[in-house]
Amino acid sequence: MRVAADPAHPDSTFVEDVAVLTDECAVLTRPGAATRVGEVQTIRRFLDQLFPASKIQTIEAPGTVDGGDVCEAGDHFFIGISARTNKAGAEQLARWIASGGYTSGVVDIRHESTLLHLKSGIAYLSENRLVLTEALASRDEFAGYEQVRVSADEEYGANCVKINDYVLIPAGCVKLDQELQSLGYRTIALEMSEFQKMDGGLSCLSLRF
């Protein structure tokens, strides 16, 4: 499915922020930026085509959640506490995904000045392997994972997306591209400079489950 352009909500191209999807349920978020709250109902109309009403949940005030702060790693979810996702929202999301059999844990990134969202610095590649920026790589929350560390000059590349047999990466991340290929991944480099200007990354542009 493709969502039509919405001139009333210029950030709505970053569709990932307004819903968190699993095989068991969909959770409509409550974005941390007030200007984005109107995007939720648009996405609800699409989710109604994919999930029965009983499987669609919502984040309620005072909770806020941006989907960019939620990283699915197999059956576990990392939920970032950030300027956009607060503790109340993280707790609500954790309860909803737990009902589907998933575990979760919070990662407080409020002191990581280079990260708007948790997934600005992390991606899950499957097989217990994470792509991480140096700022996140030393965190205890990720100690049990094999790590692909992104150098400081390519840290934008940490927001990559594995789809089927390919990993989508931002163009220009040459060292990350070589590292992923050395691990057996096939990569596709995509031009992302215009989205990067708005702190948007590859994962922001789609909803996946």
Structural domain for 120, as ranges: 10-205
Cα separation, 161 vs 168, in Å, equals 5
The overall pTM is greater than 0.85 = yes
**Which one from 25, 117, 160, 173 is the annotated catalytic residue?**
117
119 Cβ partners below 8 Å, 6+ apart? Answer: 68, 69, 70, 71, 80, 159, 201, 203, 204
pLDDT digits (tens, 9 = 90+) for 112-166: 999 999 999 999 999 999 999 999 999 999 999 999 999 999 999 999 999 999 9
Q: Is residue 86 part of a domain?
A: yes
pLDDT digits (tens, 9 = 90+) for 86-98: 999 999 999 999 9
CATH number at residue 59: 3.75.10.10
Active site residue 111: no
Active site residue 204: yes
CB count in 10 Å sphere of residue 182: 9
**Which one from 25, 71, 173, 204 is the annotated catalytic residue?**
204
Burial class (CB within 10 angstroms; exposed 0-12, middle 13-18, buried 19+) of 113 = exposed
Total number of domains constituting the chain: 1
Token digits for 209? 């489950």
Q: Is residue 105 part of a domain?
A: yes
